[in-house]
Structure 1
């Protein structure tokens, strides 16, 4: 193997998760006389080229920036021994499938070992990618993600509209006891709006948006991790992999469209044997997601009215056909199951010819004159 090529490459879906993995990997490498580098987007490209020229043994990065360095030939993976995909399903959700295939092609050593980690393995796209990136893979399952988490107490409250959700959020965060909390929203605009709303109640909130520069995002996560803020309001940017040990409460201001994302969100609390709480606000726009979530989970998840701030909305009921309509529909059916009002289509004989238009006028045949008289 070429000693100038990295020995291990760890890919993460987001820069925040990659940075957290890098911190742990660097700690492990320091005791093994191995060097480790972080290669993610949003950082200075030329500085990363210089770091790669120092031939690190272990690289932690994001798929997009790693693919850029491979294209520019500032990085080579011919001698790579270990390729690790962390939160593989999330990388596919973010559209990194082409980059993952590209990285797999560059890491072409015959003895390369591939590891793929994901909280949810029952995914068609993920299974297809697993077949493409691995050979004779062994599947190891530790527990079931859809089973009930014994260390997380979950609750759901009905909400009429956004204003009602705001009031429920402020009430719960003001009356619950927690060290730190994460509030998940569906839009970037709501992250700033809710942060300002919570700060009016002196709840020490800070927002994290995906469109912020990398240095700003890193600074926000650093401040929240150090405990300078009690509440982090964010989108699904912070739902994966981040190990925030002080988080004791997770709030779904909006339910995610994907049921698996709910599992990742509430998984930010109740980690390493600690107890945690999670509650969700379910409005008319969230009802479809709530129904999908209930069918996805292996345990009952009920939605109740809040004792202090009850809602008029209590879910949409499925309209079943009335008995009269069902009886009428049954009477309109014949014994063989076909409707009596339905006309039976006559099969067209395409080989049959038919005269169309007006018949031609028949004329008397003209008499033929004989030439015998001329001979006489």
Structure 2
């Protein structure tokens, strides 16, 4: 089915053709017609499946073809769990808004509140926002959504994991009317809170599931390598950095400190690299991502800040220097490559501290892991970890001795009024023995 068969507004079709899209992806073929006839939608799909366009196109189609319920209120609200994903969605939205009379605004945390308030006073038709900052504006009465026509929740599972359920409840109540259409997108539907949220927000939803979250991404090759320790991981990383087929590379690590350190290591290996972590200001994070997206840097080293929502078509490789705590994050991390039908490679380094995370990933993907090796860099660690016997410190020894002494005193019989107490047939072991009279 080509895009021409979807009966989209000519202004939207011009943008679609300009961007080079010819045939909708599987999720777009399923979702767009359902949304265009007014159905609520709940969607589960693999990362990189084209879900953003699956809701942007029919949402804009509705706004272009119908009269606004209110001149003052926003007509469509798109919620995303992180600033980075919100900005990615907003960038795609602007490509389509430019050919239409519709207006849009981006409202995320970390930006100047007063500037956002001035922007909202212009009454934009479409708002892309993070839940926390949007609720701040709702409570400050700088935005109104009584007449909201379309509510879209992108990566709802991630929003719930981040604790945004109270904010989503407030937003739902502020726009609770029968004419509202709600679209919920989630990487997995095997999530109790997602089910609860869907029941609260959606009316008789049409369900679309394209590729279960645990299924292997066909365009991404995955390899796992065992490492003895941190130095061994760094040696493996240096080996992979020399691979000629790398276009752009994202390295995921567990801590902010490692993000900075490994970026320096990549620089030493002759790669233009930049580190991204939560301790950077929002403007600095924006600059880092823009520089990487424009190709200024070949390597991005980051924590899970960049594991979701970033559509970077030049990323050919992903390296998990540390495995993530949550198995779902592994899927999102490797999904930064292999976008839009391109081939990608995901490499994971597994040390003794990563074994628990690896077991969770195996359970989530429903298949065991096989390990690859690099000649000359094979370590001693075989992928199994014996439970270590905890070391007993001097302080712990003293506490244990005190507990034993206390327990011994409690188990002894108490003496009454300081007088020796004798048992029939003998003494109690506390007083001197009683001599037998001759």
TM-score (structure 1 length as normaliser) = 0.82
Q: 1:223 aligned to 2:285?
A: no
Deviation at 1:299, TM superposition (A): 4.3
Deviations along 1:189-228, one digit per CA (max 9) or x if unpaired, are 1101111111111211100011211111000000000000
Deviation at 1:119, TM superposition (A): 1.4
Which residue does the alignment assign to 1:295? Answer: 363
Q: Is the 8 A contact 1:185 1:254 kept in 2?
A: yes
Corresponding residue to 2:328 among 253, 257, 260: 260
Q: 1:251 aligned to 2:319?
A: yes
Distance 1:128 1:176 in 2: 48
Which residue does the alignment assign to 2:204? Answer: 136
Q: Secondary structure at the match of 2:316?
A: strand
Distance 2:312 2:291 in 1: 12
Structure 2 counterparts to residues 1-376 of structure 1, below 5 A: 1-316=69-384
Q: Which moved more, 1:124-133 or 1:221-230?
A: 124-133
Distance 1:246 1:188 in 2: 24
Gaps of 5+ in 2: 1-68, 388-438
TM-score (structure 2 length as normaliser) = 0.71
Distance 1:13 1:163 in 2: 35
Deviations along 1:216-251, one digit per CA (max 9) or x if unpaired, are 100000000000000000011101011001000000
Distance 2:378 2:190 in 1: 38
Distance 2:277 2:222 in 1: 26
Q: Which moved more, 1:31-40 or 1:290-299?
A: 290-299
Deviation at 1:138, TM superposition (A): 2.5
Distance 1:183 1:318 in 2: 29
Distance 2:369 2:375 in 1: 18
Q: Secondary structure at the match of 2:124?
A: coil
Deviation at 1:300, TM superposition (A): 4.5
Deviations along 1:143-173, one digit per CA (max 9) or x if unpaired, are 1221121111110000011111111111111
Distance 2:105 2:170 in 1: 20
Q: Is the 8 A contact 1:148 1:299 kept in 2?
A: no
C-alpha distance 157-52 of structure 1, shift in aligned 2 (>3 A): same
Q: Is the 8 A contact 2:84 2:309 kept in 1?
A: no
Distance 2:375 2:193 in 1: 43
Q: Is the 8 A contact 2:250 2:318 kept in 1?
A: yes
Gaps of 5+ in 1: 320-376
Q: Is the 8 A contact 1:77 1:108 kept in 2?
A: no
**Whose helix fraction is larger, Structure 1's or Structure 2's?**
2
Q: Which moved more, 1:44-53 or 1:242-251?
A: 44-53
Deviation at 1:176, TM superposition (A): 4.5
Deviations along 1:85-122, one digit per CA (max 9) or x if unpaired, are 01111111112111111111111222111111111111
Q: CA RMSD in A?
A: 1.4
Distance 2:186 2:83 in 1: 17
C-alpha distance 187-233 of structure 1, shift in aligned 2 (>3 A): same
Alignment length, in residue pairs? Answer: 319
Q: Secondary structure at the match of 1:241?
A: coil
Deviations along 1:267-308, one digit per CA (max 9) or x if unpaired, are 000111101101100000101111221122144431233323
Q: Secondary structure at the match of 1:139?
A: strand
Q: Is the 8 A contact 1:287 1:316 kept in 2?
A: yes
Q: Secondary structure at the match of 1:182?
A: strand
Deviations along 1:299-348, one digit per CA (max 9) or x if unpaired, are 443123332300100111689xxxxxxxxxxxxxxxxxxxxxxxxxxxxx
